[in-house]
């Protein structure tokens, strides 16, 4: 998919990766139904895949832009960069279906090695007490 960011720790050993890719014209409603199917008819297979891929949580958004809709997925896992690698290699029926949906609705082919552009970390901030002390926060 389009954008990948993997430097956001969520829990002790988990990180978030965010994938964003355009939804093909006229496919936004089908993309919504695809996401709904993951918690509906395909829930059991989806949850099995999440356990197998060590995905702890996932969120999805549709972002409407002047250039069209974008599907955004946030995946929380110990090694989120491995999720697409494993999905691209898998011959399991659910994984094949997932790849087919991404191809049909977003034109994304994840059947081969991931082709993600490198990401440059340009801001890294935490609201922890440690970061406030380093920033020289003063008492009022």
Average pLDDT over residues 68-87: 90
Domains in the chain: boundaries: 8-134
Cα separation, 101 vs 77, in Å, equals 22
Rounded to the nearest angstrom, the gap between the alpha carbon of residue 11 and the centroid of all alpha carbons in its chain is 16
Say if residue 40's pLDDT is above 70.
Answer: yes
* Predicted local confidence at residue 110, as pLDDT: 83
Is 73 in a helix, a strand, or coil? strand
CA atoms within 13 A on the CB side of 61: 9
Distance CA 80, CA 14 (A): 8
What's the pLDDT score for residue 119? 73
pLDDT band at 10 (very low <50, low <70, confident <90, very high): very low
Work out the pLDDT band at 11, boundaries 50, 70, 90. very low
Q: Which fold has domain 8-134?
A: Alpha-Beta Plaits (3.30.70)
- Rounded CA-CA distance 61/15 in Å is 18
């Amino acid at each position: 998919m389009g954008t990948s960011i993997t430097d956001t720790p969520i829990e002790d050993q988990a990180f978030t990766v965010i994938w964003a890719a355009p939804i093909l014209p006229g496919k936004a409603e089908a993309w919504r139904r695809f996401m709904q199917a993951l918690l509906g008819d395909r829930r059991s297979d989806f949850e099995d895949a999440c356990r197998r891929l060590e995905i702890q949580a996932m969120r999805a958004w549709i972002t409407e832009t002047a250039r069209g809709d974008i599907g955004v997925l946030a995946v929380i896992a110990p090694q989120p960069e491995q999720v697409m690698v494993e999905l691209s290699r898998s011959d399991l029926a659910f994984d094949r279906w997932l790849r087919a949906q991404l191809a049909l609705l977003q034109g994304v082919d994840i059947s081969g090695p991931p082709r993600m552009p490198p990401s440059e970390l340009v801001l890294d901030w935490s609201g922890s007490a440690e970061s406030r002390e380093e920033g020289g926060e003063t008492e009022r």
